[in-house]
A and B are shown apart, each in its own frame.
Chain A
């Protein structure tokens, strides 16, 4: 009886869709570029920062965080990464070096959050080039928050900055070097600094006219532990400008590896690779 089969199939499909907690509001999508989200999936940067700063590092504890990047379209891998990170003792948060989404769509950002919110520690993101595609920039701002921001944790100022110059067609204003300079000039009481961005300055997607100013700013920052990037999907640590500034690149989720970064002392660090 095809009609009855069809209607029960439809009923199951509908019940299934509703049972997973999708509100009708999200289901009635106006466009894939529609960035509406549930209240608890908006302003995630501010929410995760509040979560992080609510549990400050006790004196004597070591700053230790997970560094990963480019979660784009790797949701199964994200699930496994969360399971692995949840077994790591002594970590305080996770940093994701951009490309949260693949196609710049709000729903993709929410899918990644659906996995990462299951972590025991909060996570913080910086925007990647894929998050800028179409109306992704607005979706990122709605779901995560500002494109440039900073926070202080464990005597360290973390500065997260949009370096996706190509997405602005190299307009000469991205990255915002004066903003970066201001952030690094005043560490809000911290003694160390870390800069995180998606596109590394030596990459072709970084504005060539701002490369020297950006790298120069980092070189002049004596408190800088290192600069951290994603975009290249593979681990790398080195000094591409041979100027004493260390750049660390994260694994993409699809590589099924992440880094555990420990920062101690003046600005010493240790990086451990974990496979999952």
Chain B
């Protein structure tokens, strides 16, 4: 279901320019062309370009992608599918050198349960994957330092699965009419190297040994 909706959303909104039919409109005029929305999608009738502006801002700690990470993201499929990008920082005292970590994640949360009329909603499960690239590591190999394939894994790139849940609080609508929420979330994740270590040592290691925890806030704008 989710990939179909994502595809529909993408088809409905080409990234370059809105689909405009009828008489030619001057480039500086206000574009009000109606984008055909996919059935079942509650997307506002706005130029496609706007859909690629971040729809939410993120502030996070942990999860292997920064002591402090900030970012933004897009939502698709009635805000069940999030595509996020974060930039994180780890000071040298915690990692030997100061690290900057760029990460991206895709998260899918199929259920949102309103909690009475309190304005709160609980999202019991989100699943996703993330990838990260770390800048600033000390020893990642210089030209000619190692023979080919001396170390088979990347020192800078990590990928891993994640799962989590969240609690949202409804805020006043944005001027555009979009519903806004402030969401507190956690994510349990791991990475490829921890996952491999666990897979090869299921007696000595447990899932909790390889788990990382991220805590974050998401503000829809």
- Nearest to B111 among chain A residues (CB) is A3
User: Which positions in A face B, CB cutoff 8 Å?
Assistant: 2-4, 6-7, 9-10, 13-14, 16-20, 22, 24, 27-36, 73-76, 78-79, 102-105, 107-108, 111, 115, 132-139, 142, 166-167, 169
CB of A134 within 8 A of CB of B139, answer yes
Residue B101 CB within 8 A of the other chain: yes
Q: Chain A residues near B213: list those with CB within 8 A.
A: 17, 24, 27-29
B47 contacts the other chain (CB 8 A): no
User: Do residues B208 and A34 form an inter-chain contact, with CB atoms below 8 A?
Assistant: no
CA A138 to CA B97, docked complex, whole Å = 9
Q: Kindly identify, within residues 70 to 103 of chain B, every residue whose CB is under 8 Å from any CB belonging to chain A.
A: 88, 90, 94-97, 99, 101
Q: Known contacts being A30-B62, A32-B158, is A6 close to B125, with CB within 8 Å?
A: yes
> What is the CB-to-nearest-CB distance from B49 to chain A, in angstroms, rounded to a whole number?
35
B: number of interface residues (CB 8 Å): 57
CB-CB under 8 A from A14, the residues of chain B are 188
Q: Answer whether residue B35 sits at the interface, using C-beta atoms and an 8 A cutoff.
A: no
Are the C-beta atoms of B113 and A111 separated by less than 8 Å?
A: no
Q: How far is the CA of A32 from the CA of B139 in the complex (A)?
A: 14
Q: List 20 A-B contacts (CB under 8 A).
A: A2-B110, A6-B111, A6-B124, A13-B163, A17-B211, A22-B209, A22-B211, A28-B213, A30-B95, A30-B99, A31-B88, A31-B134, A33-B99, A33-B137, A75-B197, A75-B203, A104-B155, A135-B137, A137-B96, A137-B139
Contact between B137 and A134, CB atoms less than 8 A apart: yes
In the bound complex, what is the Cα–Cα distance between A9 and B124 (angstroms)?
A: 10
Does A115 lie within 8 Å of B61, measured CB to CB? no
Contact B138 A134 (CB under 8 A): yes
CA distance A38 to B8 in the complex (A): 49
* Nearest-neighbor residue (CB-CB) of B62 within chain A: A28
Q: How far is the CA of A58 from the CA of B158 in the complex (A)?
A: 51
Stretch at the interface among B20-28, B36-44, B140-148: B140-148
- Additional A-B contact list (14), CB under 8 Å, known A20-B209, A75-B205: A2-B111, A10-B125, A13-B207, A17-B211, A18-B208, A28-B63, A30-B88, A31-B99, A32-B191, A33-B90, A34-B67, A76-B200, A133-B139, A133-B155
- Inter-chain CA distance A145–B188, complex, in Å, is 31
Query: For the complex, what is the distance from the CA of A260 to the CA of B23, rounded to whole Å?
Result: 89
Q: Give chain A residues whose Cβ lies under 8 Å from the Cβ of B203.
A: 75-76, 79
Distance of A4 Cα from B124 Cα, bound (Å): 8
Complex contact B125–A17 (CB within 8 A): no
Instruction: Confirm or deny: B204 has a beta carbon within 8 angstroms of a beta carbon on chain A.
Output: yes
Chain B residues within an 8 Å CB radius of A139: 96
Chain B residue nearest in CB terms to A8: B124
List, in ascending order, chain B residues with CB within 8 A of A78's CB.
204
Cβ-defined contact, A7 with B137, below 8 A: no
A231 CB to closest chain B CB, in angstroms?
A: 13
**Whole-angstrom distance between the alpha carbons of A28 and B209 in the complex?**
12
Given contacts A22-B208, A28-B214, A138-B138, contact A73 B101 (CB under 8 A): no
Distance, CA A86 to CA B99, complexed state (A) = 41
Pick the contact of A10: B88, B146, B165 (CB < 8 A): B165
How close is A260's CB to chain B, nearest CB, in angstroms?
23
Contacts of B214 in A (CB 8 A): 28
B9 at the interface (CB under 8 A from A): no
Residue numbers in B under 8 Å from A27 (CB-CB)? 62, 211-213
Assess the A3–B95 pair: CB atoms within 8 A.
no
Q: Are the C-beta atoms of B142 and A134 separated by less than 8 Å? A: no
- With a cutoff of 8 Å between Cβ atoms, the chain B residues found around residue A108 in the complex are 197
Q: A30 to B124, Cβ gap below 8 A? A: no
Residues of B within 8 A of A133 (CB): 139, 151, 155
Q: Report the minimum CB–CB distance from A205 to chain B (whole Å).
A: 9
